[in-house]
Amino acid sequence: MRPSTSPGTVLLAFTLLCALLGLGCPLSCEVCKGPGPSCSGRMKTCEAGKDACVVLVGESSTKGHQSVNTYKNCMKFRDCHSGFVSTTMGPKDYMVTNTHCCQSDGCNRVSVSPPLNNRTENGLLCPACIAPFQETCPGTQAARCVGQETHCIYFAGNVQAGIFNTKFATRGCATASACHTSAGAEVPSASYLYFLRRVDCLPAPQPPGRAE
């Protein structure tokens, strides 16, 4: 029996051939998703148009259930923003993420440090709501912004969790870095994939009694 060719060898040969022929070579990235501050998985050739590798670590709380998860995959470079993002929809509903985007084969085979999670309130307030299955949400409640969250966001679109895909709408506090996201973007969190149709991001109003 001849030794079998590993998928890695095939991928390498393909990438070399494509570079030699001067073709637009597809990127390959590590793909994994799992609990904890790191994960590892197989290498995958990215679909056309996905020209970046991403690794992100997120800490989230949903109705008080906290978890840390890591996500690695291909995505569009245009939709990928390296750095820290914090969003707060309520005292028990928030998400902080650290993201690294890069554009060479296997460049996401690294770990990123878990995001700082500063829950100290900073005095700013934003309209807040979480509406699964809905296209809009009223924002009749108020979220207390924490840490570096200086903006109010309104995100709506679709969210994919495994094979389950549904509409969602949400409002709350966010760091200014969340405003880099634009409508039409496909962005991962540590646990879900979001297809954003609406992205509003405005500086949080100054609370009364606090002079500029």
Binding site for ligand NAG (CB under 6 A): 118, 120, 122, 147
Give CA 37 to chain center in angstroms.
15
Cβ closest to ligand NAG, residue 119 vs residue 198: 119
What is the closest distance, in whole angstroms, from the C-beta atom of residue 102 to ligand NAG in the complex? Answer: 26
The SS3 of residue 166 is strand
What is the closest distance, in whole angstroms, from the C-beta atom of residue 162 to ligand NAG in the complex? Answer: 34
Nearest to 70 by CA among 191, 159, 195: 191
What is the closest distance, in whole angstroms, from the C-beta atom of residue 146 to ligand NAG in the complex? Answer: 7
Cβ closest to ligand NAG, residue 75 vs residue 173: 173
Cβ closest to ligand NAG, residue 122 vs residue 191: 122
Contact (CB, 8 A) for 180 and 153? no
Label the pairing between strands 83-90 and 93-102.
antiparallel
What is the closest distance, in whole angstroms, from the C-beta atom of residue 118 to ligand NAG in the complex? Answer: 4
- b vs e for 68-82, b when ≥16 Cβ sit within 10 Å of the residue's Cβ? bbbbbbbbbbebbbb
Cβ closest to ligand NAG, residue 6 vs residue 120: 120
Cβ closest to ligand NAG, residue 129 vs residue 145: 145
Nearest to 134 by CA among 169, 172, 160, 89: 169
What is the closest distance, in whole angstroms, from the C-beta atom of residue 122 to ligand NAG in the complex? Answer: 4
